[in-house]
Amino acid sequence: MTPGTRLRDSTRVLLVVGVMGLTAPAVPAFAGSAEDLGPYARSAAEYDYSARALRFYHQYTPAANTRAREIYARGLQDFPDSVWLKNGLAWTYIQDLAYLRSKDPAGDIDRAYRLATEASVANEAVGSASWPNHWALVSLSLFHDHDAARAIAEAKTVDRLMPDDARARSNLAYWVALAGDLPLATEWAEWAVRQEPGGPKWMGGNLGSVYWLAGRYQEALAKLLPAKEDFPDFLAITYVALGQTDAARATVAEWRKADPSVTVAKMTVFTPMAPAVLQKYLDGLRKAGLPES
């Protein structure tokens, strides 16, 4: 039970081939011509670094993510200007942030933001757009600078590059809501669940989170209950908002059983919301029985 599952099950970021799917397939060895590699990969060796790193990244374990980071970093020694590798390395830091396991959140945010920004500048220099790069900057704009306007702009860019992708739009809606554009977040999240009525539970959970942020608590509860393993925080604070304190405390107790390290102090660091909304979120967690530290 971890909010990090939202990243694992919803984004499925394949930084090389640009595919979203139900699973994270292994990236095959490159067998095409140099022209097929695109404007940034100057050789099959650069592609190979990304392919090998992704096989570890998509295991979503601390050890595998560390190994992916090592491969990306080694690749950057050979290809220091690689957009692929910089963006992939940035995502390894985002994964640790999403799973609440970063031991140096401020440092990891800085490192990821620097890498994603360098990749973005390189893309802009050649008039190109990369949805994984823009997607990284959606969350990093909030984590690093609390720049809600940029986060929303980056989300709109991703949506333009991945039109009519229900799972992408659902995940983006969550971040747009954290950035404060609740009408757009509601529109995207509701559209996504209509497009995939039998889709994964986290899509409903994203909509439930948006509903909580919009003050639509009863509707939030209906969406969050089936996705409680991925959204224990939002489920607990929804129970609090509805006056169901016992249910809220039971939710937090189950969450803490799965992850004893989670506290109000930890969620303060790992939740990039606007200050007023963050305070409401943290107060809800306190009322639900989450310890301060």
pLDDT at 22 over 70: no
pLDDT at 23 over 70: no
Q: What percent of the chain has pLDDT over 70?
A: 84
Buried b (16+ CB within 10 A) or exposed e, 56-78: bbbebeeebbebbbebbeebbee
pLDDT at 84 over 50: yes
CATH topology identical between 1-163 and 181-293 = yes
Structure tokens at 108: 């990891």
Place of tokens 């081939």: 17
- Which amino acid makes up residue 280? K
pLDDT at 239 over 70: yes
pLDDT at 10 over 60: no
The CATH topology of domain 1-163 is: 1.25.40
Tell me the pLDDT band of 131, cut-offs 50, 70 and 90. Answer: confident
CATH code that applies to domain 181-293? 1.25.40.10
- Which amino acid makes up residue 109? I
Structure tokens at 7: 């990243």
Rounded CA-CA distance 243/43 in Å is 60
Extents of the domains making up the chain: 1-163, 181-293
| Helix H or strand E segment including 148 | helix 148-161
Tell me the pLDDT band of 112, cut-offs 50, 70 and 90. Answer: very high
pLDDT by residue (tens digit) across 33-71? 444 445 445 678 888 999 999 999 999 999 999 999 999
Structure tokens at 80: 């220091």
Q: Return the pLDDT at 259.
A: 94
Which has the closest alpha carbon to 100: 281, 277, 267? 267
The chain-wide mean pLDDT, for the chain, equals: 87
> How crowded is residue 266: how many other Cβ atoms within 10 Å of its Cβ?
16
- Answer whether 172's CB lies under 8 Å from 138's CB: yes
Structure tokens at 143: 């984590």
Q: Return the pLDDT at 193.
A: 98
Rounded to two decimals, the pTM is: 0.86
Q: Return the pLDDT at 267.
A: 96
Over residues 245-249, mean pLDDT: 98
